[in-house]
Amino acid sequence: MHQHYVDLSCTSVTPDCPVENTIYGYYPSLPLNAFFVAFFSFFAITNAIYGIYFKTYFFAYVMTVGCISEAIGYGGRIMMNKNPFDEIGFRIQISCLIFAPAFAVGGGLAGGAGQDAELRAKGTNTMLAGIVFQVATLVIFGYLALEYIVRTRRSWEAVSPVARNYAQKTSFKLFTAGIIIAFITIFTRCVDRIAEIVGGWANPIMRNEVEYVILEGL
């Protein structure tokens, strides 16, 4: 896969350091990234309020932290809109827009490596290992969930009336649909991110902002 030249010695866009020499090769869209900052900030607050009201503390904590992380990550991309060579903005977005501590560590290493190729490679490999692990756990989850559904349907008559009535509720159906949609979108994004990282920094997949916004925003 073709990789573009990246000048890690540049600190701002100049005639000698064009935007094409950045890792992403473009100015991240201000309107799009501002929208996602507002979007995830809104849902961080909403999840926290609902979690306290309905006493679903752990679920609310996980969702709120995830939304805050996304909002901060898109804030990093807004910083890169002003200066695509902004090292701090790059570190923030590469670390926060990935859903796992291992990925964040890898993103921090890769983003802070500068011209240290060995450290950058370690960070990249850490992120890749984390994403592959997440894909593996998603596959296992999907298999177990599907097996549970099949077994439940086959022995539906043995299911208690209370459970059967609950399964017919609109709220339960919406929750189930939400899980399915989340599974599909996260799995798709993880697979795409593997291809993105394997292709190396500044590869064509990494430089496609439209694809990035669609898949990351999912």
Q: Is the pLDDT of residue 82 over 60?
A: yes
User: What average pLDDT score do residues 150-161 get?
Assistant: 92
How many whole angstroms separate alpha carbon 205 and alpha carbon 81?
19
With cut-offs at 50, 70 and 90, classify the pLDDT of residue 3.
low
Q: Is the pLDDT of residue 179 over 70?
A: yes
Q: Which long-range contacts (CB under 8 A, 24 or more apart) does 113-119 make?
A: 114/8, 114/87, 115/8, 115/9
Q: Is the pLDDT of residue 21 over 50?
A: yes
- What pLDDT, on a 0 to 100 scale, did the predictor assign at position 105? 41
- What pLDDT, on a 0 to 100 scale, did the predictor assign at position 198? 86
CA 67 to chain centre: 10
- What pLDDT, on a 0 to 100 scale, did the predictor assign at position 136? 93
How many whole angstroms separate alpha carbon 24 and alpha carbon 152?
47
Q: Which residue has the tokens 């590469």?
A: 94
How many whole angstroms separate alpha carbon 108 and alpha carbon 130?
13
- What pLDDT, on a 0 to 100 scale, did the predictor assign at position 101? 41
Give pTM, 2 decimals: 0.80
How many whole angstroms separate alpha carbon 33 and alpha carbon 85?
17
